Structure 1
Amino acid sequence: MATIEECRAALEQFSRNLRDADGDARAAAAMDRSVSCHVTDLDVTFAGRLQDGRITVHETLQGPPREKAELRLALTGDDLLALVAGDLHFAKAWGSGRVKLEAGLRDLFRLRKLL
């Protein structure tokens, strides 16, 4: 089972991946939105902001998100690590329910370029 520190490190790596992305992926990440990532097996939420193609985590909270972020992700810690490492395909994980992504319709259309 992944630890809180490993999950935070995976989010930091994901942020670096977004920053270094090219083309459509870079354009998709170039939005300004609040984000939350609820790691369900640890019952911890990382809350922050996607801005200028980077995710900045502002706080780590026990339990589910307290406020409804504009982009909301929920998954296990092991799935978060596997996604960032490239060992788990996001679309398959999302389609099977292993990963939950909630956002406005316009944001979902933009984010699909990252998948």
Structure 2
Amino acid sequence: MATIEECRAALEKLSDSMRGAEGDVRAAASLDRSVTCWITDLDITFAGRLAGGRIEVHDTLKGPPRARAQIRLAMTGDDLVALVGGRLHFAKAWGAGRVRLEAGLTDLFRLRKLL
């Protein structure tokens, strides 16, 4: 089972990758939205903001998200680490119910370029 530190490092790595993206991916990453990522097996939520092509984590909270962010993710820590490490494909994980992504319809269309 992935640790809180490994999950935070995976989010940092994802953020770094998004910042260096180009074209359509860079445009999708340039959204300015509140974000939560609930790590279900650890029962920890990383809360922050997607802005300037980066995910800035502002809080690490015990339990599920307390407020409804504009972009909401939920998955296990192992799945987060595997997704960011390239060992798990987002579409397959999402289709199998291993990853949940909730956002407004317009944001979902833009975010699909990141996936």
Bin the TM-score by the shorter chain: over 0.9
Runs of 4+ in 1 over 3 A off after TM superposition: none
User: Which residue does the alignment assign to 1:96?
Assistant: 96
Q: 1:22, CA displacement in angstroms?
A: 1.1
What is the count of residue pairs matched by the alignment?
115
Superposition CA RMSD, Å: 0.4
1:18 maps to 18
Query: 2:77 aligned with 1:71, yes or no?
Result: no
1:8 to partner: Cα distance: 0.3
Cα distance, 1:20 vs. partner?
Answer: 0.5
Q: Which residue of 2 aligns with 1:33?
A: 33
Would you say 1:6 and 2:6 are equivalent positions?
yes
2:110 matched residue in structure 1: 110
CA offsets, 1:27-81, max 9 Å, x none? 0010100000000000000000000100000000000000000000000000000
- One-letter amino acid of the counterpart of residue 80, structure 1: L
- TM-score, structure 1 as length reference: 0.99
DSSP 3-state at the match of 1:78: helix
Gaps of 5+ in 1: none
Please tell me the residue identity of whatever aligns with 2:37: C
After TM superposition, give the deviation of residue 14 of structure 1 in Å.
0.4
2:86 aligns to what?
86
Match of 2:112, SS? helix
